[in-house]
Amino acid sequence: MTRLKRNVRLVFIMFCGLFLSLLGYLTYFQVYERQKLIESSYNRRLWEQEETVTRGTIYDAKGRVLAKTVEENGAKKRVYPEGEAFGPIIGYSNKKLGRANLEQALNGELLGISQQDPMMVLRQKVLGVSKGNDVYLTIDSELQNKAYQLFRGRRGALVALDPNTGAVLALVSSPGYDPDFIEQMWESLSKDENSPLLNRAVQGLYPPGSTFKIVTLAAALESIPDIESRTYETPGHVEVNGRVIRDYEGFRPGNYDIKRAFSLSSNSVFVKVGLEVGKERLIDKAIDFGFNDKISFELPVAASRFPRFSMIGDDVELAEASIGQGKILTTPFQMAVVASAVANGGRIIKPYIVQKVVTPLGEVKNFSNPSVLKEAIDVVTANKIREYMVDVVEHGTGRAAGIKGIKVAGKTGSAENPHGKPHAWFVGFAPADNPKIAVAVVVENAGSGGTNAAPIARDVIRYFLMNGK
């Protein structure tokens, strides 16, 4: 073959490469870029859709309307019948202010533009459907309202999950706002010191305080074989490298086994336990429970932070970390996941808030398939922690969460913070032997968790078990 012809073949190979790159890029585009562009706010198809399509309705788990679009004097208007408790979770869809929270996150579904099935799209186009999809949440609006009222306007948040499925039963952030008045109230809401526009349940980062002892306990039970037969003698405080960490006022010095120390939330004992577990295993356990990782959820969840290996410089920092102080920060959402993992035999189930989506033609897209993300702890450890948590409510710091006739498991926390009184925490689940609901409650700067957060959790659990299901 002449050199000329060889070169012609090279040219052909070059064209093979060029055309393959066209096809490759088109494929890449379809797989990775497409959805983002369809939902881009610059896409004029979206604006058109907004004008011509009636935005879908948002329902709660029992079919009560949370947001719907109505015609008023020929103009479309979005209304939110359930009021203040729902602002931080449903958000708003407003021409002037844009969209927020679930109205934003579910925009594609509500406008009916994130349909994947091409036949469905074609049928709607041919039939001239001009309505978006309806979305059914897992939220129980009565429970949500009840929980919101229990905060009485104080700053705080509550997350309630179904530990068996991961369904979010309530997601409260207090103070809230009524999305019906978002436009009139915008000025005052955005300047309010209590930041009602912030969804504390998923975006608020707090030190977890003693509720984190669940994680320390899990690490200890798994790594120190004889831990349950040991007793720790404590004078009511412990000194680590010159820093003194105290137990709470009224804690009596003496001999405690680990279960009793957990029940009474002894800082001095748990510092010792934490130091023995060591930073590597404590970090690993925190990560097993989902710290330092983004939880994928319909609403953006701030990643909870546990200090990484290099950030725990000395024993003082490790000591603080083992009782949930220092550099740890967590969302109420994350702590609800921790409680529900214990309730569920150690498995972390992916939390979700959208139960199903119904298209105007009646097709149902179901999203309520529980999926196990990972195993945080093994079943044996989970069952022990459950037993310990029941003891907290029956004989320990969490007695205010006790309900007659129902075995409640829980853990209190009073998280020291630079903004004033401790944040009151309670995480737990019930009924302990067959958990139906897992909750995490935080009330900002309210004081002790046992007296300020536990009662809220109790009322929510009781209300749900009496009225729910």
Give residues in contact with other proteins (CB under 8 A). 3-5, 7-12, 14-15, 18-19, 21-23, 25-27, 29-30, 33-35, 37-38, 40, 42-45, 48, 118, 121-122, 125
Cβ partners under 8 Å of residue 90, min gap 6 = 58, 66, 67, 80, 82, 101, 102, 103, 179
342 near 319, Cβ under 8 Å? no
Nearer to other proteins, 3 or 404 (CB): 3
Rounded Cα distance between 374 and 203, Å, is 23
- Judged by beta carbon, residue 97 or residue 122, the one nearer other proteins is 122
Q: Least distance from C-beta 108 to other proteins, angstroms?
A: 12
CB of 13 to other proteins, least distance (A): 10
Least gap, CB of 43 to other proteins (angstroms) = 5
Tell me whether residue 33 or residue 280 sits nearer to other proteins (CB atom). 33
* Torsional class of 98: left (φ above 0), alpha (ψ -120 to 50), beta (otherwise): left
Q: Among 157, 154, 146, which residue's Cα sits nearest to residue 194? A: 154
Number of Cα atoms under 13 Å in the Cβ half of residue 283: 13
Render 413-450 in DSSP notation, one character per residue.
EEEEETTEEEEEEEEEEESTTS--EEEEEEETT---HH
The Cβ-side half-sphere exposure at 414, using a 13 Å CA radius, reads: 19
Distance of CA 108 to the CA centre of its chain: 22
Residue number with CB closer to other proteins (44 or 404)? 44
Question: What minimum distance in Å lies between the beta carbon of 96 and other proteins?
Answer: 19
- What are the structure tokens assigned to 437, written together? 């609901």
Identity of the residue, 64 or 123, whose beta carbon is nearer to other proteins in the bound complex: 123
- Between 22 and 244, name the residue whose CB sits nearer to other proteins: 22
Q: Least distance in Å: CB of 357 to other proteins?
A: 18
Shortest spacing between CB 111 and other proteins, in angstroms: 13
In the complex, what is the shortest distance from the CB of residue 179 to other proteins, in angstroms, rounded to a whole number? 28
Minimum CB distance to other proteins smaller for 125 or for 469: 125
